[in-house]
Structure 1
Amino acid sequence: MTSDSQIIDRLVARLLPTAPAAPPADRLVPDWAPPTPFERPPVPAAVLIGLVKRPEGHTVLYTERSPDLRAHSGQVAFPGGKIDALDEGVAAAALREANEEVGMVPAEARILGFMPTYYTGTNYLITPVVAEVTPSGPFVPNPGEVHSVFEVPLQRILDADAYVRFRVKRGGEELTSWQIDHDGHKIWGITANLTRQFRELALNEAYSA
């Protein structure tokens, strides 16, 4: 089995060293096609794929969104959100969101690199920021945004058997994504797709949508 430290070294070599530029609008293909075309440019957003250093090995940080939120309530997500005008780049936005959502101290995260942008059927252009996190204390969910925080062992994320297909109907069309079940949590949709892309980048495998 490849060690976590070897995976981290491999990721550093394969991740983008700087945040990718937004693709031209005519080349953007959403993960599912909305019934009507968007009338505005995509919303830039960032998520943090946090690799948390634990005595037993690295874990991947996830949140369960508050059931009171209007959008994606109760779903599992990476810490993240819209990039604000005051953010000093994509990484700063991801770290700010992680601090606001779960109290992660930005100085305790070491940015490893960036994954390619991910365009959603809700018109968000997401840049995943990958970081190694050495927390000095527990993560504490912000009750206004996050219901709970949990971590999945990195080795489970790298295991192909952890992934199954999730199917959902939207606008009369059946859509599929990856799904990961862990300790009572169901990771699916955008978050599972990004997790799968992260896995295949870490293992140098071609992504299978």
Structure 2
Amino acid sequence: MIGPDTALMPDWMPDSAFDRPPVEAAVLIGLVRREAGFTVLYTERSSTLRAHSGQVAFPGGKIDPEDEDAAAAALREAHEEVALAPEEARILGFLPHYFTGTNYLITPVVALVEPSAPFVPNPREVSDVFEVPLARLARLETYGTFRIMRGGQERTSYQIDHDGHRIWGITANLTRRFRDLALAAELVP
């Protein structure tokens, strides 16, 4: 198991340095208020997408020049991907930036979400929308490990299995980072 002091490397790095600055992106870690308690919002990417098809992700994407900031980009993407009305989300804060092996610099945006309607996946981008109870994500035993071989090297990330969905890589690593940074003060040993 990966320990909290283990430095997680991106799941892939190129053989040579990048020849351009990183692409700025933002994801929304949506804390959805439900009658039974808080959940966290995830999507399963469409199998027709060129990159990361079929993988679980937070709503999000590239920060466009028209976006005021990372929060605006995350809310715009969540609206495009799952029909989350931006006015139904209140930004709570940000996690540290996350640099990927594909040269993206991701800003994780944490928001309280109080939806007035069901989330609806945009089939061009998302095949499924689901939520994981926040209480489950707060428990250490929820996190396993996922190993993948890339370029002859084994890479490891966190892994969360939930109702037939496997969350791994960047999304699982960000989930664990959220757990460790935002929920740690609330956890009872």
Counterparts in 2 of 1:79-158, with a 5 A limit? 79-158=59-138
> Where in structure 2 are the equivalents of 1:1-209 lying within 5 Å?
31=10, 32-204=12-184
Residue identity matched to 1:127: T
> Aligned AA for 1:178?
Y
Distance 1:137 1:66 in 2: 22
How far has the Cα of 1:30 moved from its partner? 6.0
Using the alignment, how far apart are the partners of 2:51 and 2:167 within structure 1?
A: 16
Q: Which structure 1 residue ranges, 5 or more long, are not aligned? A: 1-28
Shift of 1:204: 3.2
Residue ranges of structure 2 left out of the alignment (5+ in a row): 1-7
TM-score of the pair, normalised by structure 1: 0.83
Which residue identity lines up with residue 139 of structure 1 in the other structure? Answer: F
Equivalent position amino acid for 1:185 in 2 = H
Structure 1 CA distance for aligned equivalents of residues 52 and 15 of structure 2: 19
Any idea what SS the aligned residue of 1:200 has? helix
Assess if the C-alpha contact under 8 Å between 2:145 and 2:157 holds in 1.
yes
> In structure 1, what is the Cα distance between the partners aligned to 2:56 and 2:166?
7
Residue type of the partner of 1:164? Answer: G
Q: Give the RMSD, CA atoms, in angstroms.
A: 1.2
SS in 1 for 2:79: helix
Q: TM-score, normalised by structure 2?
A: 0.91
**What's the offset of the Cα at 1:138?**
0.2
Distance in 1 (CA, whole Å) between partners of 2:156 and 2:80 is: 31
How many residues align structurally? 177
Query: Which letter does structure 2 place at the counterpart of 1:175?
Result: R
- Distance in 2 separating the partners of 1:164 and 1:117: 23
Given residue 91 of structure 1, which amino acid in structure 2 is its aligned partner?
A
Q: Is the 8 A contact 1:30 1:123 kept in 2?
A: no
Report the equivalent of 2:3: none
Query: Are the equivalent residues in 2 in contact too, given 1:30–1:119 (CA < 8 A)?
Result: no
SS in 2 for 1:140: coil
Q: Within 2, Cα distance between the matches of 1:100 and 1:203? A: 28
